[in-house]
Amino acid sequence: MVEKFNRLKNRFFSMPTRFSSKTIPFALLATLIVSFGLLVKDLGFYQDDWHHIYFGHTLGLSRMWDMFLYDGRPLAAVLYILGFKVLGFAPLHWHISTLALRALTILFTWLIFRGIWPEYRRQVAWAALLFVVYPIFKLQPLAVAYTVHWTGYLLFVVSIWAMVQSIRKPRWYWGYFGLALLTCGLHLAFIEYFSGVELARPFILWLLLSEEDQTTRSRIQKTLRLWLPFLLVLVAFYIYRIYLIPQPEPGYARNVPTVLFDLFNAPLPTAIKLVQDILQDVLYLLVTAWNNVFTPDLFKITQPANFKILLIAIGAGFALFFYLRRLESGEDQETETRRPWYRSALWLGLVLTVIGPIPAWVTGQSVSQDNPLWSGRLGMASMIGASLVLIAVLEFLVKDIKVRTIVLVILVTYSLSWHLLYTNLYRWSWDKQTWFFHQLYWRAPYIEPNTALLSDEEIFPYMGEYPTAFALGNLYPKYDGSLSVNYWFYSLLRRFNDQRADLISGLPFEYKIGFGRFSGNSLDSLVIHFAPEMDQCLWVLRPEDTQVRALPVITREIAVISDLERIKPGAPEPYSFPTQIFGERSQDSWCYFYQQADLARQFKDWSRVVELWQAAGAMDLKPHNGVEYLPFIEGFAYQREWQGAQELTLQANKLTLAMDKILCPTWQRIAAETIPSPEREQAIARIKDKVGCSE
């Protein structure tokens, strides 16, 4: 043991005393992979991903133009048409692609920093490292929806890098300048998110020209001259965006710069509100965003996933500290007369941070005041600047390089663990989604168009009503190419808590969300209940299920309108489950047999119900809730296998409280619909006695 320890010790101390700056890209990529890549194979589609998938998969790639016309980014359709052709509809492909876009964005950001401050290798590496994990953007798992954002970000940083190189390498000026101008136009054409940070170009040029021996006036003139082509592209973009962008229908507008117009109509109150938003958002970007990172959830080690994340964070922290302490910094070449790096980094970082959210502010949005989950995207452009600011402040306040390194490692490690913690929640959301959609397809191989699914609450984290509706649209075929959506999902408590009577009498449904619209009626709905965390399968309810006490109150009340005739045994034309989207789930599960039995019960295929029970029993599968015995109780009863029906009834009654409320009406119906026999009468009498059914 001692000899083995000595070998490990010698190997550790024989490692390089210094890491070359050439290793920095690998360190950045390793940090990215640990932060966002470890769970990538278990992630799926969420929220805004779904309408992209719906348009590409169900309506066809040519309809992507319509979707992005409504989205206000018509040229982004090109990205997604190419993306779906190359990547298909498998979640893993999109997650790897988006991670690659983010990786390239990080590498070019580091190259920008290195191009501006070539002699400060350590500082720019630290700023790039913090940029990798900066805790603003929490939507990386929405790989499809944010492909255009990361493509735009990548094109922006490539444009800035090429501009920097055009100054640093005059011999290749026109080549780099052409690349910078091209990528500038492209990122603005695809998405408006990075139009604000375009205004940082003159500040970057000013820094680059500071090394030239010239007067302030000539430096200003040269800065403006070099910036002018990019400014013209930016002005052209704003003219197009405000006045020339095509509208999908009369009166439709999205992301209108209302604040910009209000500055002319009501300048004082608008200016006050704008200044307030700027101050609050900048404070949020630089300080408040870190509140979420230092979360005690990391230390909930009784949860296996959290314990693993804690171990990863500890390992990453030690590895990062070891690496940073041995990274060649180039600081030996610094002199006392040299201007400190933090000065230029601080003011440039502040500029980038402040101007980043301009596209949000002019449309009346805010990084800090809106929903923190979704509004984080509005601060994406400021992540570069915020990283520079924090590293510059760290350089100024902390003189001891070892203490400085420890502070950086703590920031990066906590942020890394925060990304892992919420990504794990996305992982569970996808697991729940795929389990739901597989069960729904097993229970309902086809659902008539214009059907709404009603549940007491939203059933998936990181989703919502309309994303769930578009996900449903991918489950079944659509036989026309219209923008009407065949299926919709509503939360009863959110939408109709005060309209329960209207739902029961028949309430028209009309829902429109730009690129999609749904029309239906509450009487053409399916009421569902899905609580897998309670060891329950998906329940597609019948009107009779108003007596099931295991249901939420509002679900019990509304179950009376659940119309099972909307469910058909198959689609009008041959169609198979879209495994490329939803993946595969084993049919060797209780819920598969339950859903198939419930489907067979709907069409009164009682022999099939009994066969399914026997097949499940052969695999030692059984329900965890008495409600899931009901199809099999009826199956055995209608097959006149009274002994089996009795046994299942008593098991259900024993397993779940208040089952008598549904078991008794079930047996009353069985008694009314089956042929009298001594065995039947004996079974009915026994059930009345054991379950407690009154006459």
Mean residue pLDDT of the chain comes to 92
Last residue of a domain, one of 392, 426, 460: 426
Work out the average pLDDT over 414-432: 96
Query: Hey, is 91 helix, strand or coil?
Result: helix
Give CA separation, 394 vs 291, 345, 400, 417, 552, in Å: 18, 11, 10, 21, 53
Give residue 335's pLDDT.
38
- The CATH number for 638's domain is 1.25.40
Give residue 166's pLDDT.
96
Residue 513 — pLDDT band, cuts 50, 70, 90?
confident
How much of the chain, in percent, has pLDDT values that exceed 90?
81
Work out the average pLDDT over 286-315: 88
**pLDDT of 244 higher than 90:** no
Give residue 15's pLDDT.
53
In this structure, the answer to whether residues 576 and 595 fall within a common structural domain is no
In sequence order, the 6+-apart residues with CB closer than 8 A to the CB of 529 are 455, 456, 536, 538, 539, 541, 551, 552, 555
Give residue 337's pLDDT.
43
**pLDDT of 2 higher than 90:** no
In this structure, the answer to whether residues 497 and 474 fall within a common structural domain is yes
Check: pTM over 0.95? Answer yes or no: no
Work out the average pLDDT over 592-619: 97
In this structure, the answer to whether residues 400 and 480 fall within a common structural domain is no
Residues 450-460: tens digit of each pLDDT: 999 999 999 99
How much of the chain, in percent, has pLDDT values that exceed 70?
96
Residue 329 — pLDDT band, cuts 50, 70, 90?
confident
In this structure, the answer to whether residues 553 and 665 fall within a common structural domain is no
Work out the average pLDDT over 511-528: 92
Last residue of a domain, one of 370, 400, 426: 426
Tell me, yes or no, whether 2 lies in a domain.
no
**pLDDT of 9 higher than 90:** no
The continuous run of DSSP H or E covering 511 comes out as strand 508-513
Work out the average pLDDT over 248-267: 80
Task: Report the range of poorest mean pLDDT among 61-70, 239-248, 277-286, 623-632.
Answer: 239-248
In this structure, the answer to whether residues 591 and 579 fall within a common structural domain is no
Residues 142-185: tens digit of each pLDDT: 999 999 999 999 999 999 999 999 999 999 999 999 999 999 99
In this structure, the answer to whether residues 360 and 410 fall within a common structural domain is yes
In this structure, the answer to whether residues 448 and 557 fall within a common structural domain is yes
Query: Hey, is 267 helix, strand or coil?
Result: helix
In this structure, the answer to whether residues 302 and 367 fall within a common structural domain is yes
- Which domain range does residue 600 map to? 587-695
Cβ(630)–Cβ(597) under 8 Å? no
| Sheet containing 525-529: order of strands | 487-491, 451-455, 525-529, 539-540
Interatomic CA distance for residues 109 and 349, integer angstroms? 13
**pLDDT of 5 higher than 70:** no
Number of domains in the chain: 3
Give residue 107's pLDDT.
98
Work out the average pLDDT over 612-636: 97
Tell me, yes or no, whether 5 lies in a domain.
no
Work out the average pLDDT over 315-344: 79
In this structure, the answer to whether residues 469 and 387 fall within a common structural domain is no
Work out the average pLDDT over 546-571: 96
More confident residue, 262 or 691: 691
Query: Hey, is 491 helix, strand or coil?
Result: strand
